Structure 1
């Protein structure tokens, strides 16, 4: 099987980039010939990764992958016109007897964007028509696609998580000393943008610290190095092993987002046995302490609940969602060659 993954590649280390990198590792481990077309800001090249940012380079990279008969798997947000044009171009790139591709939509903002007008829904339906399977990371995205005219039978809900994401940890400088002097310790991924809820978490943390003077907060993500204070450690952007080390060191992981798909960091924190406080947006796995999005007071109360409670047991999944993805690949690859195709693994 020959595969081309289209999406962001770390660095930066966003959820989509981490997912694509883990999926590429899993493909190689399964003996799949995989290439990555990096359409993200990193603009990486080498080791099976080809830079594909910008219309001309993307067209050239798509053409090269299509000429090799690769199965294209596009990872995008679905939350803006550019995202859907990326998907539309890939859906039209297939040549001859090459297999139909796969499209995964990751952003919790996609449903609201699709509700923005019939032209948006028509663009989404046109892009989806050229793929063999559409994967949504939560039920809300799947429902929005169905309302846009994408046949529900062609949509599957598959989480973007896999146990393969829990690679060996590598603590960043300063974490161990900060952990020793701060109890309880909170962690949060706070990239730029109001959607991630830094404006909610910081006052909620101050309220928590009024009751727990030794409490600390470790924040990571682009721009967090600017966060200051004797109880806040801003680490900036971290590679994935370092981010996992932060999750593992913390007592509580906070996810105060105003929109979400199915946050990889939430699932990672739960798998590492950490308490998770998260807003009620997107899909939240069982075991999270939830609060209404945008409510800093409710967030503060839930943080207090998390600190007061016993740490949860680790919650490893009984299944690996990557198995469902590779089952989809096998069906499409086999079908393109005219052989009977096995049934794809069921969705979540």
Structure 2
């Protein structure tokens, strides 16, 4: 089956987050499959190797769409997503949209309507989980967003790797957790950093575990990062709790660590959860979203339940969850290319 010319639209690293890392890996997978793949980056941070939406002229934007056979849109902003879909359809491109979570669609009635219109206008809507599809009453395939990390992503800064090894040498199991940036959802810490800090107030937790929490970007979260850093210092847990902000990949830290915790209070099908399972790590996740097999669930925003599940392990990583979902996406692009009627 002939490969189409593919255009990916969304935010590419940096900043690093689940969607941006997914797009980076998806482009690499398309390139590796000899599929001509271009991109429009929506990040506010421009990159020398990627056309940026905010720096493009309208004519360049139209030309980029016309040069593709299949346009795959990952934009989170509801109205911008709808605008991309409308323009791609107007220019007779085959259009795929992926819905990564219910957070953006559920911000308002207008946002929900925009997401639904975009899905109706697209040729195919992809949902990262059954829960997300049901939440939008959508129709389309469920394809989780996890693509396996490349070997180049598995490196870690020497200082952080040394900290992890030191904690392990002292007999502690190392927990890692992360946030693309520190923000709130419904007035609560979206990524649960505050919960993890509180969890480490327990001497038993500090005796048996250490935690490294990575924040990819401080954009808009500088004050909260500083406040959490002070809270860690004031609580006297700094020797076992390292809070850092660096624009680095998370895969290398996951590979070195022992446990991954996803303490979000809202979620889609989190890439980092599947990535931790891919590496065979113990995974604890809040029950705010459906999770893959092998994840130990704890009640969302419940520190006591998180502490209990952490100290009393019951479920180990399930090798059945070690699946790379690049192939179904590449096959979807090829099937759409085959159905084109205007070429």
Tell me if the contact between 2:65 and 2:93 (Cα under 8 Å) persists in the aligned partners. Answer: no
Structure 2 vs 1, CA of residues 174 and 332 (structure 1 numbering), >3 Å: closer, same or farther? same
Q: Out of 14, 21, 27, which is 1:11 matched to?
A: 14
Tell me if the contact between 1:50 and 1:61 (Cα under 8 Å) persists in the aligned partners. Answer: no
Tell me if the contact between 1:271 and 1:315 (Cα under 8 Å) persists in the aligned partners. Answer: yes
Aligned residues: 315
What residue is the counterpart of 1:20 in the other structure? 23
Tell me if the contact between 1:9 and 1:38 (Cα under 8 Å) persists in the aligned partners. Answer: yes
Q: Out of 215, 226, 238, which is 2:209 matched to?
A: 215
Post-superposition Cα deviations, 1:10-39, rounded to whole Å, max 9, x if no partner, equal 111111110000000000011111111001
Q: Is 1:185 aligned with 2:170?
A: no
1:178, 1:247 → 2: CA distance? 14
Structure 2 vs 1, CA of residues 215 and 125 (structure 1 numbering), >3 Å: closer, same or farther? closer
Q: CA deviation at 1:197?
A: 1.0
What residue is the counterpart of 1:335 in the other structure? 339
Structure 2 vs 1, CA of residues 314 and 142 (structure 1 numbering), >3 Å: closer, same or farther? closer
Post-superposition Cα deviations, 1:39-94, rounded to whole Å, max 9, x if no partner, equal 12322232xx211137xx384453122221431111133xxxxx122221111223
Question: RMSD between aligned alpha carbons?
Answer: 2.6
Q: Out of 78, 96, 103, which is 1:102 matched to?
A: 96
Q: Out of 296, 301, 304, which is 2:303 matched to?
A: 296
Structure 2 vs 1, CA of residues 108 and 91 (structure 1 numbering), >3 Å: closer, same or farther? closer
Instruction: State the TM-score, normalized to the length of structure 1.
Output: 0.82
- Which of 257-266 and 211-220 deviates more? 211-220
Tell me if the contact between 2:200 and 2:206 (Cα under 8 Å) persists in the aligned partners. Answer: no
Helix, strand or coil for the counterpart of 1:196? coil
Structure 2 vs 1, CA of residues 287 and 139 (structure 1 numbering), >3 Å: closer, same or farther? same
Q: Out of 114, 130, 135, which is 1:123 matched to?
A: 114
Tell me if the contact between 1:166 and 1:244 (Cα under 8 Å) persists in the aligned partners. Answer: no
2:127, 2:103 → 1: CA distance? 12
Instruction: State the TM-score, normalized to the length of structure 2.
Output: 0.83
Tell me if the contact between 2:293 and 2:318 (Cα under 8 Å) persists in the aligned partners. Answer: no
Tell me if the contact between 2:94 and 2:336 (Cα under 8 Å) persists in the aligned partners. Answer: yes
What residue is the counterpart of 1:62 in the other structure? 61
What residue is the counterpart of 1:162 in the other structure? 147
Helix, strand or coil for the counterpart of 2:158? coil
Structure 2 vs 1, CA of residues 233 and 276 (structure 1 numbering), >3 Å: closer, same or farther? same
What residue is the counterpart of 1:270 in the other structure? 277
Post-superposition Cα deviations, 1:256-314, rounded to whole Å, max 9, x if no partner, equal 000010111111111111111110122311111111111111111111124xx69x467
- Which of 197-206 and 169-178 deviates more? 169-178
Tell me if the contact between 1:217 and 1:232 (Cα under 8 Å) persists in the aligned partners. Answer: yes
Higher relative contact order (CA 8 A, sep 6+): 2
